[in-house]
Homo-oligomer: A and B are copies of this chain.
């Protein structure tokens, strides 16, 4: 068996050959003109992908570090905030708020469902004194495979001054995102999801009015101080030594996305989603998310009674080199997740369905070999 794994997880993703090649370039001085040029190009590409004119700041950390940065620079201890949760990563935002003493109200939707804009907007409308300083939300929730209508919140809140803070780590490049048109203040992403670069860098766009709030924010912060990062960005640097190699990868990967066109790249993710869902339905298995909020990045599948995630994941990995994800949170023991984000071929999905059929059958689940693949093929022949 080769040492190349099919990466059917919701990130990190496998890397395109030109991205892999870029990683083995020798070091350049991160305080010199060569690196400034690389970072300027990355930020310009990311502005295209984010659809924004806002500043984009690069941090050397995982997406979770940038989530922390998106809170500690804009909210003070005791500030009121709404945290919308539809799964595991919404809970993570709530945890960050708690760690920093922010008076966060958790609006907790059922796992597998999307946020209901009416409920959130009613909270904001009732806050006539404008005590709520931020609305914090996931664009895409990888634990359940659901994506949120954040446009409805950003546009529906109208003149309420609460900042919109968005975790787009697993959505940027996979879900439609219009940072400026929707008026999103702070949008967090990371290198290793649909951006199809290695993990190690995270990005955060900051609106003009969010910067003003950061300037008066007194929260403890050092490594994640975005004002400091903004100062260094003016001379094309980062305050601390950046992950230079990962930046090479991000440059190569974002060039690909800009060349393909961000809307085309997003559309490709939706087609992958539809093909996976058709295939899984062809197998006779249930999907956790409804069609209207199903994530273009990852699909959560309910397992037949008596079959555990490891019964599937282990043989998929050891026999076929296919990495799929287990369940999370309340669906930990009853679901598997198939990621379809970033760099992959449509063929990878067909292979995954074919191998899933074999592994399910070996686990005693009755099916006719080829049923899932055929359902996916049928859709593909209509679409391609």
Contact = CB atoms under 8 A, between A and B. Distances in A.
Interface in A94-141: 95-96, 99-101
A24 B27 contact: no
B27 A7 contact: yes
A5 B29 contact: yes
Given A7-B29, A221-B99, A60 B15 contact: no
A220 B223 contact: no
- How big is chain A's contact interface, by range? 35 or more
Given A12-B241, A15-B26, A241-B192, A222 B95 contact: yes
Contact of A246 (B20, B220, B243): B243
Number of chain copies forming the complex: 2
A15 B248 CA distance: 15
Q: Is the interface of A mostly helix, strand, loop or mixed?
A: loop
B220 A101 contact: yes
B240 A65 contact: yes
Interface in A211-228: 220-224
A338 to B, nearest CB: 14
A65 B3 CA distance: 33
Interface in A1-51: 3-5, 7, 9, 11-15, 20-21, 23-30, 32
Given A60-B62, A245-B246, 5 more contacts: A60-B200, A61-B240, A199-B241, A199-B245, A246-B246
Interface of A: 3-5, 7, 9, 11-15, 20-21, 23-30, 32, 60-65, 68, 95-96, 99-101, 190, 192, 198-200, 220-224, 239-246, 249, 317, 323
18 contacts: A5-B28, A9-B29, A13-B27, A15-B27, A23-B24, A60-B200, A62-B223, A62-B241, A63-B241, A64-B222, A64-B239, A64-B241, A95-B222, A99-B222, A100-B220, A200-B200, A245-B245, A245-B249
